[in-house]
Amino acid sequence: MAGDVLAFGEALLRLQPQGDARLDENGPLDAYPGGAELNTCYALAGMGVPVSWFSVLPEGPLGRRILRHLRGGGVDCAHVRTAPGRLGTYWVEYGRDPRSIDVVYDRRDSTVCRVRREDAPWEALRAARLFFVSGITPALSPETRTLAIEMAETANAAEVTVATDLNYRARLWPVEEAAPVLERLARAAEIVIATADDLRTVFGISGSADSMAAAARDRFGCRTLVLTLGGEGAVALDDGARRACAVFPSHSRDRIGAGDAFTAGFLYGWLSGRREQGLDYGLAMAALKHSVAGDTLATTRDEVERVMARGDRGIRR
């Protein structure tokens, strides 16, 4: 596959009590690297796509842990910068019914929040085939906001495809602050991925799935609008063509990162010339992510396509 993907985003470390333990109890913690763009890059690399991830990590063992994880998954980290500072973390308590999943973030003023314009790999950006940034990155700090928008608009001007998952996070910024920034990001993108909840909450777009997708596509002026619908699957308007796909069966061991796996699958379909199958790849990869622990999905194209074929999930000998 010709060309590269370049992504810009934050790295986090997820800390989680083992089993069904609670955060306020003593006991061992599992630790998983994560972050929206990081997760997407990791899954794309497993599909054989050449991907590069750009960020600013803290000097020391935690930054090295993130790099080791990404490099082990085949992600190019040549554009990653390091600086004194801290790595953002988030703490997860997985609840079983009637308990919900509880998340506590500790990410304020991490090293990526102080990213500088001169840190960005401008030549690599203009040479990339696709640039990806989520709506989480501009929410982190004024510096990440300015750089994320500039990189997206620079890529657009250089005829590099820009893709974004709007990913509104209410804990990071209020709607009135987020809406104009996310709209500007979406207007710079050729591919926009959004949940129905985010379109309603941030932009006041409501109605049926098809009418919401059409309204968002018209508003942003993007070529491709993907609307994810949770357990109902997803729909896409792509160059005027409507496509839809239902979810694939899965065992929900760990839901975190499934949206990023979906994004990776959809982008894989677009990059590989299988645009009509982008939703299938995305939802198959989301189903696979549900079945494994951690934020990132390690998979292969063969495994994903077996899921898409709804084939045998028994013991493979």
Q: Look at residue 310 and tell me if it is in a domain.
A: no
The active-site residue out of 260, 280, 295, 302 is 260
Domain that holds residue 125: 5-302
Backbone angles phi, psi at 256, to 5 degrees: -65, 130
Kindly report the CATH number assigned to the domain that includes residue 252: 3.40.1190.20
58 Cβ contact partners less than 8 Å away, ≥ 6 residues apart: 82, 83, 84, 85, 86, 87, 110, 111
Active site residue 302: no
Q: Look at residue 309 and tell me if it is in a domain.
A: no
How many residues make up the chain in this entry? 317
Q: Look at residue 275 and tell me if it is in a domain.
A: yes
Which tokens go with 5? 């993907």
Q: Look at residue 24 and tell me if it is in a domain.
A: yes
Q: Which residues pair with 106 in a beta bridge?
A: 89
Q: Using CA of residue 122, residue 191, residue 56, residue 71, what is the dihedral sign?
A: negative
Predicted local distance difference test score (pLDDT) of residue 316: 44
Q: Look at residue 235 and tell me if it is in a domain.
A: yes
DSSP letter assigned to residue 188: T
pLDDT in tens, the chain (317 residues): 445 999 999 999 999 999 888 988 888 999 999 999 999 999 999 999 999 999 999 999 999 999 999 999 999 999 999 999 999 999 999 877 787 888 999 999 999 999 999 999 999 999 999 999 999 999 999 999 999 999 999 999 999 999 999 999 999 999 999 999 999 999 999 999 999 999 999 999 999 999 999 999 999 999 999 999 998 999 999 988 999 999 998 877 888 999 999 999 999 999 999 999 999 999 999 999 999 999 999 999 999 999 999 765 554 43
Q: Look at residue 108 and tell me if it is in a domain.
A: yes
Q: Look at residue 234 and tell me if it is in a domain.
A: yes
The 10 Å CB-count burial string (b at 16+, else e) for 130-169 is bbbbbbbbbbbbebbbebbbebbbbbbeeebbbbbbbbbe
In the chain, % helix, strand, coil (3-state, to 5) comes to 40, 20, 40
Pairing of strands 12-17, 88-93: parallel
Query: How many Å apart are CA 276 and CA 74, to the nearest integer?
Result: 26
Q: Strand 241-245's sheet: what is its strand order?
A: 51-54, 5-8, 130-132, 161-165, 191-195, 224-228, 234-238, 241-245
Question: Could you tell me which of 58, 184, 52 has the C-alpha nearest to residue 113?
Answer: 58
Predicted local distance difference test score (pLDDT) of residue 25: 87
Predicted local distance difference test score (pLDDT) of residue 311: 62
pTM here?
A: 0.95
**If you count DSSP H runs as helices and E runs as strands, how many of each does the chain have, helices first?**
10, 14
Q: Look at residue 126 and tell me if it is in a domain.
A: yes
* Number of domains into which the chain is organized: 1
